Structures are given as structure tokens and as C-alpha cells.
Amino acid sequence: MERTYVMVKPDGVQRNLAGEIISRFEKKGFQLVGLKLMQITPELAGKHYGEHEGKPFYGELIDFITSGPVVAMVWQGQNVVSVIRNMMGKTNPAEAAPGTIRGDYAVFMGNNVVHGSDSPESAEREINLFFSPEELVDYKKATDFWLYGK
């Protein structure tokens, strides 16, 4: 079963949206396998956003993501990477469709409330960056039959 790394960013935590965001993925049918509230260090932020180093907004991005606690999560389910990206909406909240998390709760590019891995490869890298294997819980959900028919 596919897994993805999701985090409620510092603006989402401060604006009391963590529960709402978790609730959307729960109701969709995805399974939570890792969860913690944490403060990201500049070093970890640099590793997470390494692909953006050198871009004009890089400094702001690192300052923002380290500006307060985040809720770090691992979610599991069929096609979870792409489905959660769709549920988050476009990176720029001004272009994110109503009904998506960014479309409903954000207005500005830098402060877009939530992060989700953009591919299964990124997901594996990001999960390993934020979680140790012991922090991820393997368990069976009774609802699987009603979600997947097996």
C-alpha cells in the first residue's frame, strides 16, 4: 500500500487547522500510520527543501517552515500521493479550487497551510527524513473491506 508524507505547516497549526486537515484525510478513507508535533530545525528544513536552494524565495521558505511547530504525518492508502495532492489543491492558494484545503483555507503562496509529497519517490525520501522506522505503526483497519472490497 502506498504511503505519503504530509505536514500541517506552521500557519496551519497557528490557525487551528490541524484537526480539520487530519479529518479530511480520515474521512476520505486514508490510514494514519505516523503522527507527531515537532519544531523543524534549519538543518532539517534545508534537507526537506533542498531542491529549492538558490531560488529567490528559498530564505523566506526556510524562515517560514521553522517559524513554529508543524504536525508531521504519514498517510497510507491506494494512490495516496496523488489523491492527497489533489485534496490539497494548487501550490498557489489563489489558483487552488474551492473544496481543496488550500482553496478553502489559504490566500498567499508562502503560507499555504499544508505540504504533501509530490511523487512516491519524494514520499519515501521525506518519510525517512522526518520519521524513524519505529515511529511508523503497521496495523490493520477493519474498514479496509468497505474501502477496497478485500
Question: What is the footprint of ligand IDP within residues 121-150 (CB under 6 A)?
Answer: none
- Residue among 49, 22, 24 nearest 117 (CA): 49
Phi, psi of 7 (to 5 degrees): -140, 140
Q: CA 67, 129, 74, 37 torsion: positive or negative?
A: negative
Instruction: Give whichever of 92 and 144 is closer to ligand IDP, judged by the CB atom.
Output: 92
d(CA 9, CA 67): 9
- Count of C-beta atoms within a 10 Å radius of residue 85: 18
Task: Establish whether 115 is a catalytic residue.
Answer: yes
Annotated catalytic residue, options 6, 71, 77, 115: 115
Instruction: Give whichever of 57 and 148 is closer to ligand IDP, judged by the CB atom.
Output: 57
Query: Looking at 41, 42, 57, 128, which residue binds ligand IDP (CB under 6 A)?
Result: 57
Residue type, 82: S
How many residues bind ligand IDP (CB under 6 A)? The answer is 8
Is there binding between residue 120 and ligand IDP (CB under 6 A)?
no
Is there binding between residue 68 and ligand IDP (CB under 6 A)?
no
Query: Looking at 105, 115, 126, 130, which residue binds ligand IDP (CB under 6 A)?
Result: 115
Is there binding between residue 108 and ligand IDP (CB under 6 A)?
no
Is there binding between residue 109 and ligand IDP (CB under 6 A)?
yes
Site string for ligand IDP, 76-105 (x = CB under 6 A): ---------------x--------------
Q: Which residues pair with 116 in a beta bridge?
A: 6
> Residue 84 belongs to what H/E stretch?
helix 80-88
Q: Which residues pair with 73 in a beta bridge?
A: 6, 35
d(CA 1, CA 118): 17
Q: Which residues are annotated as a binding site for ATP?
A: 9, 57, 85, 91, 102, 112
